[in-house]
């Protein structure tokens, strides 16, 4: 499905087949360009049906492609010429239902509708094999280009896809990518500094950070901003206050539990997305801690859930819908053959103050409520006598 008979796909670095000594051989777009005596970019323009190629050059390229058995689906797409194509744009993303992904998708869909184009939605469920297969299908005539949200592919694989003339844009990359690859993202580091500085200005000195996977770009950049805020306020970093999770509610709750079980727990938690921040609030509530009286919580994204949860969540507002709209704009420049230089666009983000952040409680009060929470969890196993608990009355 989407792969050829030898199990290879777009990132195998090859596209066309021919016969050599009775065996199937493959040719890269670079070899096609060399044999036709043109540039790789010219071959890409021909394959994608661009108008800015002379008829002589176009015929020379197609002569080589025909000899090499270039895929018929792409020849058919190219035959439709500029301004036509399929009218479809692929959008790959791990999931659809969380607010983060849904908002990006809504922005992209609206922008494409304005250009009389439609989306082919491809949820990958964080499966790299599934994503590669979907991209292989999208790139072979089913769509005119793609928006890839949090793609699993490396720079090498994405460069291979680009070399085949398939237009695409990355939204919020997982990894650091080559400068040749167009990227649309949020300004993670600077606004993370704002969020951590907000907690410092309230008087917090022990601020827990709950990030996503440690090797993801978003986690690294937000952690950099967090550390910058601490350094700017003269607070020494404490690695025991930094935890890594999965960007889900359950992960946020689990890592918050670990932070609150420290001998000297944090008085505030900066979670690197709203889902983990909500998990932090759930764990605090389970321990009988007040928010923000005993524990302040700050999130990141400003999804719908941030305004529904009680108390309302202080969080960083990412322009999620605008990420989708901007990605469409960058993609269509490529699809239409306009002059395009690969670039990285960072959209402005800002901190939204709500009710989940406040000044830190007195430490003795927090300590008492932590013990009450422990007693509640141990109910049925051990009940301290009034005499032993009298010190905390």
- Is the bond into 25 cis (omega within 30 degrees of 0)? no
Could you tell me which residue, 352 or 46, shows the higher pLDDT?
352
So what's the pLDDT on residue 335?
A: 87
- pLDDT given at position 388: 36
Same domain, 242 and 205: yes
Note whether 123 and 47 are same-domain residues. no
Residues 200 and 125 in one domain: no
Same domain, 341 and 287: no
Q: Is 357 found in the same domain as 221? A: yes
Residue 112 included in any domain: yes
In a domain, 216, yes or no: yes
CA atoms within 13 A on the CB side of 202: 26
Does residue 244 form part of some domain?
yes
**Of 74-88, 187-201, 313-327, 343-357, which range is least confident?**
74-88
Domain contains 150: yes
**Domain annotation covers residue 385:** no
Q: Is pLDDT of 371 > 80?
A: no
**243 in the same domain as 132:** no
Give the per-residue SS3 of 247-295: CCHHHHHHHHHHHHCCCCCCCEEEECCHHHHHHHHHHHHHCCCCCCCCC
Among 79, 108, 129, identify where a domain stops: 79
Are 123 and 193 found together in one domain? no
Q: Does residue 302 form part of some domain?
A: yes
* Residue ranges in 115-245 assigned as alpha helix (H): 128-137, 155-163, 188-201, 217-232
CATH number for 270? 3.40.50.2300
- How confident is the model at residue 265, as a pLDDT? 97
Task: Tell me, yes or no, whether 209 and 295 share the same domain.
Answer: yes
Structure tokens belonging to residue 183: 């990227």
The number of domains in the chain is 3
Q: What percent of the chain has pLDDT over 90?
A: 58
Q: Which residues contact 153 (CB under 8 A, 6 or more apart)?
A: 11, 128, 131, 132, 135, 161
pLDDT-wise least confident of 158-162, 215-219, 293-297: 158-162
Q: Which domain holds residue 73?
A: 10-79
Question: pLDDT category, 218, cuts 50, 70, 90?
Answer: very high
Q: Give the pLDDT score at 30.
A: 79
Which CATH number do you get for residue 52? 1.10.260.40
Which burial class, exposed, middle or buried, applies to 172 when counting CB atoms under 10 A from its CB (0-12, 13-18, 19+)? buried
Name, of 97-111, 215-229, 376-390, the range with top average pLDDT: 215-229
- Please check whether residues 128 and 143 belong to one and the same domain: yes
Flag whether 1 is in a domain: no
The reply to whether 114 and 75 lie within a common domain is no
Give the C-alpha separation, 300 to 189, whole Å: 12
Task: Name residue 345's beta-bridge partners.
Answer: 184
**Cα(273)–Cα(252) distance, integer angstroms:** 9
Max avg pLDDT among 15-29, 38-52, 360-374: 38-52
Q: Please check whether residue 259 is in contact with residue 208, taking contact to mean a CB–CB distance below 8 angstroms.
A: yes
Q: ∠ at Cα 57 (52, 63), nearest 5°? A: 130
**pLDDT at residue 147, as a whole number:** 97
Q: Tell me, what's the pLDDT at 23?
A: 39
* Residue found by looking up tokens 């309302």 in the block: 312
Kindly give the pairing relationship between strand 350-352 and strand 314-317: antiparallel
Give the pLDDT confidence score for residue 363 in this predicted structure: 56
Model confidence at 210: pLDDT above 60: yes
Domain-ending residue, one of 62, 79, 96: 79
154, part of any domain:
yes
Q: Phi/psi at 296 (nearest 5 deg)?
A: -90, 145
Confidence category of residue 342, pLDDT binned at 50, 70, 90? low
pTM of the entire structure? 0.73
Q: For residue range 183-208, list pLDDT tens digits in order.
A: 999 999 999 999 999 999 999 999 99
User: What would the pLDDT profile of 34-64 be if each residue is shown by its tens digit?
Assistant: 888 888 878 877 776 666 677 778 778 877 8
Domain shared by 221 and 361, yes or no: yes
Sequence-distant (≥ 6) Cβ neighbours of residue 310 within 8 angstroms: none
Q: What is the pLDDT of residues 250-308, one digit of tens each?
A: 999 999 999 999 999 999 999 999 999 999 999 999 999 999 999 999 999 999 999 99
Same domain, 279 and 149: no
């Amino acid at each position: 499905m989407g792969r050829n008979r030898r199990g290879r796909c777009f990132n195998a670095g090859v596209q066309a087949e021919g016969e050599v000594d009775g065996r199937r051989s493959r040719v890269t777009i670079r070899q096609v360009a060399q044999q036709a005596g043109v540039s790789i970019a010219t071959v890409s323009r021909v394959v994608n049906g661009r108008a800015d190629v002379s008829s002589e050059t176009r015929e020379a390229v197609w002569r080589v492609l025909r000899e090499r058995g270039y895929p018929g689906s792409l020849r058919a797409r190219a035959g439709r010429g500029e301004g036509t194509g399929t009218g479809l744009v692929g959008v790959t993303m791990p999931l659809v239902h969380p607010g983060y992904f849904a908002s990006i998708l809504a922005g992209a869909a609206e922008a494409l509708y304005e250009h009389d184009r439609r989306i082919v939605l491809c949820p990958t469920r964080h499966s790299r094999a599934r994503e590669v297969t979907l991209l292989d299908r999208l790139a072979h005539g089913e769509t005119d280009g793609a928006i890839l949200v949090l793609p699993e592919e490396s720079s090498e694989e994405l460069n291979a896809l680009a070399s085949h003339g398939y237009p695409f844009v990355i939204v919020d990359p997982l990894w650091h990518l080559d400068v040749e690859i167009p990227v649309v993202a949020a300004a993670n580091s600077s606004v993370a500094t704002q969020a951590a500085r907000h907690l410092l200005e309230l008087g917090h000195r022990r601020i827990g950070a709950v990030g996503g996977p440690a090797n993801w770009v978003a986690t690294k950049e937000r952690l950099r901003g967090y550390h910058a805020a601490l350094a700017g306020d003269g607070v020494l970093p404490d690695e025991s206050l930094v935890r890594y999770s999965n960007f889900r509610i359950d992960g946020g709750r689990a890592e918050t539990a670990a932070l609150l079980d420290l001998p000297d727990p944090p008085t505030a938690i900066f979670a690197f997305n709203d889902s983990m921040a909500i998990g932090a609030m759930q764990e605090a509530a389970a321990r009988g801690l007040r928010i923000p009286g005993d524990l302040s919580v700050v999130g990141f994204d400003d999804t719908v859930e941030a305004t529904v949860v009680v108390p309302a969540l202080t969080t960083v507002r990412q322009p999620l819908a605008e990420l989708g709209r901007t990605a469409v704009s960058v993609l269509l420049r490529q699809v239409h053959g306009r002059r395009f230089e690969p670039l990285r666009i960072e959209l402005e983000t800002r901190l939204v103050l709500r009710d989940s952040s406040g000044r830190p409680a007195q430490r003795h009060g927090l300590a008492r409520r932590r013990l009450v929470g422990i007693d509640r969890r141990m109910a049925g196993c051990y009940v301290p006598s009034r005499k032993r608990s009298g010190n905390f009355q």
